[in-house]
């Protein structure tokens, strides 16, 4: 499969990818390397993983990173309660069997261990890796390079199949060079006008061409404004759904309800205050 | 076997050309090792190598590893493969001025030494050059070493932007030294060095006395809150620019730091100092300071500070830094009372006096003498070196 095939596959599943992103994904798949996606929030980094699992028809295993995420909630944990129950139950009959207690039955598989013990290669999405602590990042390196997990009581567990790993980050913290080195890298930016139009028509094919162009133009113009939180692609799609749901056929028709729908795009109070009705209308004018 | 490529013929094989390209990228600051070269070659076998666009896309995702490199990769690629190498060399100094001057400094080391013997030089390059020389000789502390050559100059002579920049850096380091404090008590938390036995015992009740969840404890940060008060009266105007840069450094190191200046009135300037355009804000503030530069009413202004700001901005975790020469037109009791009242807040008081560094200086000015008993630290601020030498003292406060 070449990268252009991959691009059209992605597009058929509803994801409009740039050449660069499709190439990065293609390389990462064919070389079995993790793919690190960086970029502002709302440009569709997470969606890449979801779409990929659809194309490959495999399971998507997602590990959402957060501050304080540790090995026990990312890799594995012993089911202590169950172990304890087993111990107290066996007390009456015989001595508790230690090997029995530290067996697979009492192991709680967390996403990372789960991902390497699948029959068919899953897509492993490590979302917002920059939110996790540095210690966890170091642990992640080990797993990403060897695809094995060592559990002291059970020994080393090797990967049955190698997962396709996709990491996303949006700059909450600088990632270490070591992690970057192991990954294929792609920076995902806000789509340009043509790409965004393509995305919109993929998701809302019934929208008429004029309105779609207006919507995309408006959102693109809005991104140029000084906002605290720039609207992403997902917001744009929400907004388009709202507009078509309200039966608006032209953005310049009804300034008041247009302004009311901006709640889909502007997510902070300051941003909403900075785009009053007049500016919204000016942006519509620019978009047209 | 040489492969038929349309690459310019300098090296023979694809691998050699890729090695050259990697070398080119390395020279432009990308951190690439042998493993990356290998990966790049592997990548090329996955794609159609004869299509330059495809090769560019592929190598970009392999070689670039952060947003900056990602942005400049296209130019680097073009420069190498399409024989515009000369162009990129001309680009280089503009791209990385810091790097460039660093190298030129190193190579000019000897010249710099000689010219320093001949006379006073004005080139900023030469100054930083000497600074490096000093730091190599192992003299002084980390702050002091970088600004070694200008340490002898009185702060009055500093009017150049570079010097202001240095004052700012010194201040940032000082602010960090003062601020980073740990609490003595421990608090339970998800992560931490010590076990929280009380919590473990409490939680183990629900599991029949077996401790499953190990609670931890750590010492939380208790950052010190800095308040800087700068005297910009007539006698201090010569120092005001450099001290303003110093204040700017303090303020930009931490959001909670407050800065004030006074002449005959007290003005809060922390917000103005946080203006991202440093020279604009410093120029503005200096003008403001000069405009007033009349008589000094230190005592009255500190009293005003007590009334207006101290209630909510000074606590027992504050360090109040006063930058003044101590020449007061008020009777000495005023300053003494004001400082005593401020001291009751439990804060630490530091007085930095630019005159103290002078030979045979005695704090005989009545205001200064009256202030002395209330101070935790009375230190000179005559040279930048004096300021950076404060670091160990401030750490102990």
Mean pLDDT, chain A, whole residue set:
87
Q: Is residue A121 part of a domain?
A: yes
The residue count of chain A comes to 288
Q: CB A31 to CB B42 under 8 A?
A: yes
Percent of chain A with pLDDT over 90: 29
A122 and A248 both lie in a single domain: no
Q: CB A23 to CB B54 under 8 A?
A: yes
Contact A270, A288 (CB under 8 A): no
Chain A interface, best mutation among B31, B41, B61, by max A CB count within 10 A: B61
Report the residue of chain A nearest B33, measured CA to CA: A181
Chain A interface, best mutation among B34, B35, B65, B73, by max A CB count within 10 A: B65
Q: What is the mean pLDDT of residues B136-144?
A: 34
List CB contacts (< 8 A) between A81 and chain B: 207, 212
CA distances from B392 to A130, A150, A211, B223, B349 (A): 35, 46, 66, 17, 16
Burial class (CB in 10 A: 0-12, 13-18, 19+), A204: middle
Q: A198-204 long-range contacts, Cβ below 8 Å, gap at least 24?
A: A198/A16, A199/A16, A199/A233, A199/A236, A199/A237, A200/A236, A200/A237, A200/A240, A202/A11, A202/A14, A202/A16, A203/A14, A203/A237, A203/A240, A204/A237, A204/A240, A204/A241, A204/A244
Chain B interface, best mutation among A167, A174, A184, A188, by max B CB count within 10 A: A184
Q: End of a domain among A187, A202, A231?
A: A187
Q: End of a domain among A187, A213, A231?
A: A187
A270 and A173 both lie in a single domain: no
Q: CB A187 to CB B46 under 8 A?
A: no
Residue B258 has pLDDT above 70, yes or no: yes
Mind telling me how many Å the CA of B67 is from chain A's nearest CA? 6
Domain count, chain A: 3
pLDDT of residue B31: 83
Would the pTM count as exceeding 0.80? no
Helix, strand, coil share (%) of chain B residues, nearest 5: 55, 10, 35
Q: CB B67 to CB A84 under 8 A?
A: no
Q: Which residues fall within 8 angstroms of residue B173, CB to CB, at 6 or more apart?
A: B142, B143, B388, B391
Q: Is residue A247 part of a domain?
A: yes
Mean pLDDT, chain B, whole residue set:
73
Report the residue of chain A nearest B62, measured CA to CA: A184
Q: Is residue A285 part of a domain?
A: no
A148 and A59 both lie in a single domain: yes
List CB contacts (< 8 A) between A183 and chain B: 65
- Strand, coil or helix: what is A55? helix
ipTM (interface predicted TM): 0.82
The secondary structure element, H or E, covering residue B281 is helix B278-292
Residue A126 has pLDDT above 90, yes or no: yes
Nearest CA among B315, B324, B371, B372 for reference residue B347: B315
A9 and A128 both lie in a single domain: yes
A52 and A166 both lie in a single domain: yes
Question: What pLDDT band is residue A52 in, cutting at 50, 70 and 90?
Answer: very high
Tell me the residues of A at the B interface, defined by beta carbons under 8 Å apart.
Answer: 2-3, 19-20, 23-24, 26-28, 30-31, 33, 38, 68, 70, 80-81, 84, 133, 177, 180-181, 183-187
Q: Is residue A95 part of a domain?
A: yes
A17 and A97 both lie in a single domain: no
Mind telling me how many Å the CA of B225 is from chain A's nearest CA? 25
């Amino acid at each position: 499969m070449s990268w252009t095939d991959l691009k059209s596959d992605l597009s058929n599943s509803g994801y409009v990818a740039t050449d660069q992103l499709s190439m990065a994904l293609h390389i990462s798949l064919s070389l079995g390397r993790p793919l690190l996606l960086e970029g502002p929030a709302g440009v569709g980094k997470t969606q890449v993983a979801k779409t990929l699992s659809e194309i490959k028809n495999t399971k998507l295993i997602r590990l959402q990173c957060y501050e304080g995420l540790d090995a026990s909630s990312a890799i594995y944990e012993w089911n202590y309660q169950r172990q304890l129950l087993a111990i107290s139950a066996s007390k009456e009959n015989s001595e508790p069997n230690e090997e029995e207690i530290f067996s697979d039955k009492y192991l709680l598989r967390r996403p990372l261990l789960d991902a390497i013990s699948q029959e068919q290669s899953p897509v492993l999405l490590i979302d917002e890796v920059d939110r996790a602590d540095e210690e966890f990042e170091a642990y992640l390196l080990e797993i990403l390079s060897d695809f094995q997990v060592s559990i002291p009581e059970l020994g080393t567990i090797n990967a049955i199949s190698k997962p396709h790993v996709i990491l996303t980050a949006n700059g909450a913290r600088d990632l270490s060079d070591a992690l970057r080195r192991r990954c294929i890298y792609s920076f995902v930016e806000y789509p340009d006008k043509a790409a965004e139009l393509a995305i919109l028509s993929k998701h809302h094919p019934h929208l008429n061409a004029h309105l779609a162009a207006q919507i995309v133009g408006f959102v693109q113009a809005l991104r140029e404004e000084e906002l605290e939180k720039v609207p992403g692609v997902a917001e744009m799609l929400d907004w388009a759904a709202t507009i078509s749901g309200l039966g608006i056929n032209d953005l310049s028709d009804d300034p008041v309800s247009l302004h009311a729908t901006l709640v889909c795009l502007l997510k902070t109070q300051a941003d909403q205050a900075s785009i009053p009705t007049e500016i919204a209308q000016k942006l519509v004018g620019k978009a047209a | 076997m040489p492969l038929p490529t349309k690459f310019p013929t300098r090296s023979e094989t694809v691998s050699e050309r890729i090695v050259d390209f990697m070398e080119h990228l390395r020279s432009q600051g990308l951190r690439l090792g042998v493993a990356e070269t290998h990966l790049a070659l592997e990548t090329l076998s996955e794609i159609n190598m004869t299509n330059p666009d495809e090769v560019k896309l592929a190598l970009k995702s392999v070689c670039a590893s952060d947003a900056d490199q990602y942005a400049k990769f296209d130019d680097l690629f073009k420069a190498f493969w399409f024989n515009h190498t000369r162009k990129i060399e001309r680009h280089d100094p503009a791209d990385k001025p810091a790097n460039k001057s660093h190298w030129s400094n190193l190579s000019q080391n000897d010249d710099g030494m000689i010219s320093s013997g001949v006379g006073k030089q004005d080139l900023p390059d030469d100054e930083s050059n000497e600074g490096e020389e000093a730091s190599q000789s192992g003299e002084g502390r980390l702050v002091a070493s970088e600004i070694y050559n200008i340490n002898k100059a009185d702060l009055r002579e500093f009017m150049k932007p570079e010097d202001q920049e240095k004052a700012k850096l010194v201040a940032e380091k000082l602010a960090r030294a003062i601020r980073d404090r740990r609490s003595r008590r421990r608090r339970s938390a998800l992560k931490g060095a010590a076990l929280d036995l009380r919590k473990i015992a409490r939680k183990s009740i629900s599991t029949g006395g077996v401790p499953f969840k190990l609670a931890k404890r750590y010492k939380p940060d208790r950052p010190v809150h800095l308040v800087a008060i700068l005297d910009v009266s007539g006698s201090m105007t010569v120092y005001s620019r450099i001290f303003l840069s110093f204040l700017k450094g303090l303020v930009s190191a931490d959001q909670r730091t407050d800065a004030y200046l006074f002449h005959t009135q007290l003005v809060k300037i922390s917000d103005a100092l946080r203006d991202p355009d440093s020279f604009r804000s410093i120029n503005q503030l200096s003008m403001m300071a000069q405009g007033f530069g009349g008589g000094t009413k230190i005592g009255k202004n500190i009293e005003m500070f007590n009334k207006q700001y101290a209630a909510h901005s000074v606590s027992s975790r504050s360090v109040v830094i006063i930058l003044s020469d101590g020449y007061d037109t008020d009777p000495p009791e005023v300053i003494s009372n004001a400082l005593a009242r401020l001291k009751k807040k439990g804060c630490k008081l530091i007085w930095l006096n630019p005159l103290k560094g002078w030979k045979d200086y005695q704090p005989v000015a009545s205001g200064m003498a009256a202030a002395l008993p209330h101070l935790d630290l009375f230190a000179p601020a005559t040279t930048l070196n004096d300021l950076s030498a404060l670091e160990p003292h401030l750490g102990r406060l």
